[in-house]
Amino acid sequence: MYNFTPVPRLNYRVGVPRGGYWREILNSDAQVYWGSGLGNYGGADAVPMPYDAYSHSLTLTLPPLAAVFFKPD
Dist. CA 56–CA 58, nearest whole Å: 7
pTM: 0.92
Conformational region of residue 37, where left means phi above 0, alpha means psi within -120 to 50, and beta covers everything else: left
Q: What is the CATH number of the domain that holds 20?
A: 2.60.40.1180
Q: What range does the domain containing 47 cover?
A: 2-72
> By CB neighbour count within 10 A (0-12 exposed, 13-18 middle, 19+ buried), where does 38 fall?
middle
Dist. CA 65–CA 62, nearest whole Å: 9
DSSP 17: S
Per residue in 5-57, pLDDT tens? 999 999 999 999 999 999 999 999 999 999 999 999 999 999 999 999 999 99
Instruction: Please give the tally of structural domains in the chain.
Output: 1
